[in-house]
Amino acid sequence: MSSEPLNPPLLNRELSLLKFNERVMAMAEYPDVPLLERLRYLCIVSSNLDEFFEIRISSLKEQQRQTPGLVGQDGLTPSQAFDLVQQAAHKLIDRQSRMLTGAVLPALERQGIVLLEPVFWSDTLRQWAYDVFNRDVMPMLTPIGLDPAHPFPRVYNKSLNFIVSLSGQDAFGRSASIAIVQAPRALPRVMRVPDSVSGVPHGYVLLSALISAFVGDVFPGLDVKGVYQWRVTRNSDLFVDEEEITNLRQALQGELSQRNFGAAVRLEIDHAMPEALEVFLQHEFLLQPHDTYRVIGPVNLSRLLQLCNTIDRPDLLFPKHDPCVPPPFDVLTDNADELFALIARKDRLLHHPYQSFQPVLSFLRAASRDPAVVAIKQTIYRTGEDSELMRLLLAAARAGKEVTVVVELMARFDEQTNINWAARLEEVGAHVSYGVVGHKTHAKMMLVLRREKGAIRRYGHLGTGNYHPRTARLYTDFGLLTADQKLCHDLDNVFSLLTGLGARRPLQLLLQSPFTLHESMLALLRDEVLNAKAGKKARIMAKMNSLLEPVIIEALYKASQAGVQIDLIVRGACALRPGVPGLSENIRLRSIIGRFLEHARVFYFYADGTEKVYLSSADWMDRNFFRRVEIGFPVLDKALKKRVISEALTYALRDNQLAWRGLSDGTYVKVKGRGKPLNLHEHLLQTLSDQ
Active-site residue numbers?
442
Give per-residue burial for 95-115: e unless 16+ CB within 10 Å, then b: bbbebbeebbbeebeebebbb
How many whole angstroms separate alpha carbon 65 and alpha carbon 138?
42
With CA atoms as reference, report the closest residue to 188 among 38, 305, 41.
305
| DSSP SS3 for 527 | helix
How many whole angstroms separate alpha carbon 687 and alpha carbon 648?
13
Chain centre to alpha carbon of residue 30 = 23
Chain centre to alpha carbon of residue 491 = 26
How many whole angstroms separate alpha carbon 569 and alpha carbon 542?
6
What is the β-pairing status of strands 565-570 and 587-592? parallel
Element (H, E) at 376: strand 373-380
| DSSP SS3 for 404 | strand
How many whole angstroms separate alpha carbon 392 and alpha carbon 448?
13
How many whole angstroms separate alpha carbon 643 and alpha carbon 636?
12
For helices 517-533 and 550-561, angle between their N-to-C axes, nearest 10 degrees: 10
Torsion angles phi and psi, residue 552, rounded to 5? -65, -45
With beta carbons less than 8 A apart as the criterion, state whether 295 and 101 touch: no
| DSSP SS3 for 162 | strand
How many whole angstroms separate alpha carbon 452 and alpha carbon 336?
12
Residue ranges of alpha helices (H) inside 160-274 are 195-198, 207-214, 248-259
Angle at 533 between CA 530 and CA 535, to 5 degrees: 115
How many whole angstroms separate alpha carbon 445 and alpha carbon 467?
9
How many whole angstroms separate alpha carbon 21 and alpha carbon 92?
8
Distances (CA, A) of 324 to 288, 352, 460: 52, 10, 22
Reduced to 3 DSSP states, what percent helix, strand and coil does the chain have, rounded to the nearest 5? 40, 25, 35
How many whole angstroms separate alpha carbon 17 and alpha carbon 666?
10
Residue type, 185: R
Q: How many helices (H) and strands (E) does the chain have?
A: 22, 27
Residue type, 39: L
With beta carbons less than 8 A apart as the criterion, state whether 629 and 435 touch: yes
With beta carbons less than 8 A apart as the criterion, state whether 376 and 447 touch: yes
Instruction: Tell me the CB-side half-sphere exposure of residue 173, using CA atoms within 13 A.
Output: 0
How many whole angstroms separate alpha carbon 88 and alpha carbon 82?
10
With CA atoms as reference, report the closest residue to 466 among 429, 441, 435.
441
> Rounded to the nearest 10 degrees, how much is the dihedral formed by the CA atoms of 367, 370, 376, 380?
30
How many whole angstroms separate alpha carbon 605 and alpha carbon 172?
78
Q: What does R_g of the chain's alpha carbons equal in angstroms?
A: 27
